[in-house]
Amino acid sequence: MSEEKTNEYDLEEVYDERISPLMSEIIAICKEHKMPMVATFQYAVLDDGSETPGPNWCTTVLQWADRGLQGKAADAAAAVNPKKRGPMMVLKTLDADGAVTGVEVVLP
């Protein structure tokens, strides 16, 4: 008898429709005032057989040369956005119904 996985979830639509517009506002305000910030949202944990199974997240880190993150905020930024990982882009291909038909990770 196999155990049913209960830790998988996909809230990308919730993030895209409800959180992303708010984050756009917050990011604009932080940029206007040069306010350092770190925010991360784990919107999905998937085991869909793709090349990138596991957690999916969206992270924003803002800091400036004269106003960097300090203390616990700097520690949080380093934990969720490690520099050694480097930049990457994930491209999803959707069909007409919005179902994911392909995922590609692009690394420089």
Question: Does residue 69 lie within any of the structural domains?
Answer: yes
Q: What is the pTM of this model?
A: 0.65
Side-chain-side CA neighbours of 35 within 13 Å: the count stands at: 10
* The pLDDT of residue 34: 93
Question: Does residue 3 lie within any of the structural domains?
Answer: no
* The pLDDT of residue 86: 52
Question: Does residue 1 lie within any of the structural domains?
Answer: no
What average pLDDT score do residues 10-37 get? 93
Per-residue pLDDT tens over the stretch 64-107? 889 889 999 989 988 887 665 555 555 666 677 777 665 554 44
Give the number of domains in the chain: 1
* The pLDDT of residue 6: 54
Question: Does residue 87 lie within any of the structural domains?
Answer: yes
Question: Does residue 4 lie within any of the structural domains?
Answer: no
Examine the pLDDT at 55 and tell me if it is beyond 50: yes
Question: Does residue 100 lie within any of the structural domains?
Answer: yes
Domain that holds residue 100: 9-106
Question: Does residue 47 lie within any of the structural domains?
Answer: yes
Query: What distance in Å separates the CA atoms of residue 59 and residue 76, rounded to the nearest whole number?
Result: 11
* The pLDDT of residue 90: 56
What tokens appear for 46 in the block?
């998937």
